[in-house]
Chain A
Amino acid sequence: TQLLEQSPQFLSIQEGENLTVYCNSSSVFSSLQWYRQEPGEGPVLLVTVVTGGEVKKLKRLTFQFGDARKDSSLHITAAQPGDTGLYLCLRGSNTGKLIFGQGTTLQVKP
């Protein structure tokens, strides 16, 4: 059972455009992590959000955790070719099961 719904699954945009990736769940989660994976490498952590309504910024990336802690979004401003990759959300859990979303493949064309 997929507990995290990520959208869109694929995004192809031109350099300089803005985009938003969404991660949704039907149940509350204690925390959420966003990772980025480049071809041939393992995912790398971008940010962890814990508090409902929390907003974190990482240069041109803005991460938001929904007030009800059932959803999160990643917004990229003025995308660059270096942002190309697979973006993944991961649901925090103390039960031992670590659930990723399906992933969003982002392609930024120069």
Chain B
Amino acid sequence: DAGVTQSPTHLIKTRGQQVTLRCSPISGHKSVSWYQQVLGQGPQFIFQYYEKEERGRGNFPDRFSARQFPNYSSELNVNALLLGDSALYLCASSSLLAGELFFGEGSRLTVL
């Protein structure tokens, strides 16, 4: 069975640009959540979607947005990129709203 897949795995952008990250959950999982992680620290929660509705939002600016599609895949968009947005972006899926999280390997974003 395929695990959580994320794309792209690595990308480089410049300040002011926009980026879209994609996530495909494990088949049958209806919840997807997004996290930002800097090296050596715990992931910071950005969004959670369940059944295509936003169920939780972390303390991130409005430049960050996300959506979940009918097939439960998800996209995270970040506008007007800043140097500080450079990080590993993790996506996790779960079968329940508060169940075990299964993570992808992440998308590493570098903003120059």
Using CB atoms and an 8 Å cutoff, list the residues of chain A in contact with chain B: 1, 6, 10, 30-31, 33, 35, 40-45, 48, 86, 88, 90, 92-103, 105
Contacts and interface: CB of A to CB of B under 8 A. Distances in A.
B98 A43 contact: no
Interface string B28-70: 0000010100001111110010100011111100000000000
B100 interface: yes
6 contacts: A42-B90, A44-B103, A45-B100, A94-B97, A98-B33, A105-B40
Nearest to A89: B42
Most chain-A CB neighbours within 10 Å: which of B35, B41, B42, B50? Answer: B42
* Chain A interface SS verdict (over half): loop
B42 A100 contact: yes
A10 B33 CA distance: 27
Given A40-B105, A98-B48, A93 B98 contact: yes
A14 B54 CA distance: 45
A96 B55 contact: yes
A35 B97 CA distance: 17
A42 B45 contact: no
Contacts of B56: 93, 95-98
Given A98-B45, A101-B42, A43 B103 contact: yes
